[in-house]
Amino acid sequence: MSASQRVLITGAQGQLGQALAASVPEGIEAILCGRQQLDLADADACREAVLQLRPDWVLNGGAYTAVDNAESEPDLAMAVNAGAPAAFAQALSETGGRLLQVSTDFVFNGTQGSPYRPEQPVAPLGVYGATKAEGERRARQALPSDRCCVLRTSWVYGPVGRNFCLTMLRLHQRKAAAQEPLQVVADQIGCPTATHSLAAACWSTIHHGVGGTLHWSDAGAASWYDFAVAIGELGVEHGLLQQSADVQPIGTKDYPTPAQRPSYSLLETRSSSAELGLQPIHWQKSLIQTLETIKKAQNN
């Protein structure tokens, strides 16, 4: 890595963007672009940002991530999730920069029952996954593999933003107070990934100049039910909840949503771990770190 690199970070106000901003390594000049600074649905603006700022890397952490809403807003999801990375990649092909495109486990259909390897073909089930897969394709089309890295991850959550962990903390509190059960889907399997862990993988990708396709998540496996139970138990343990709700497992069929989700979307991370020089930690340990961060923020 050169002495100093300019990295344009999109989605800077989102949960990953804030984790990236909080962990900028020495030798990196981070240019933080939130929605107000750069509209990812505007391909011309994305291209112009690269041509004007001439970053060494674009770390495209911003995305249209509302999985169910994407079913009724496919054009907007496509503009943000595919149009933006295409525009970044095309402009970077002119300036000589590199792209780190953050992607998702939802590019897979979840039918194989074993962890998905980076080189496997994609087969998304819904609009969100399809637009993210198209973003990968367009980015790779515009840039050589050594200057384009697609980093797929899964079930991202953190101490800020909108995510499953923060939602479950609120629901545990409400349901426990009302003495009502909390019903959570138990037949979708993946791995929760904390934003601080994902941010470390992004910075390591840039540090090592890795291209191609990487998979990164925390270690282990869980259902949404398992994750919800752990959030309740550890939330009580860390003083974020007085008591946890009674979590009841339900099937996907009992909780219909506009978008179909993969029933199994674990990512195989061993090869990526070796390339990045990072070892993933277990998702429960990452959850504890996240809950501690939430608790500290509440005490300040």
Q: Rounded to the nearest 10 degrees, what angle do helices 84-95 and 127-142 cross at?
A: 10
225 catalytically annotated: no
232's tokens: 């309740």
At residue 15, φ and ψ (nearest 5 deg) are -65, -40
The b-or-e profile of 205-217 (16+ CB within 10 A means b, else e) is bbeeebbbbbbbb
**Of 64, 128, 157, 264, which one is the catalytic site residue?**
128
105: which DSSP letter?
G
What does the angle CA 18 – CA 6 – CA 38 come to, to the nearest 5 degrees? 55
What stretches of the chain show up as alpha helix (H) in DSSP?
15-21, 43-53, 74-78, 84-95, 127-142, 164-178, 195-208, 224-237, 270-276, 283-299
The catalytic site residues sit at 128
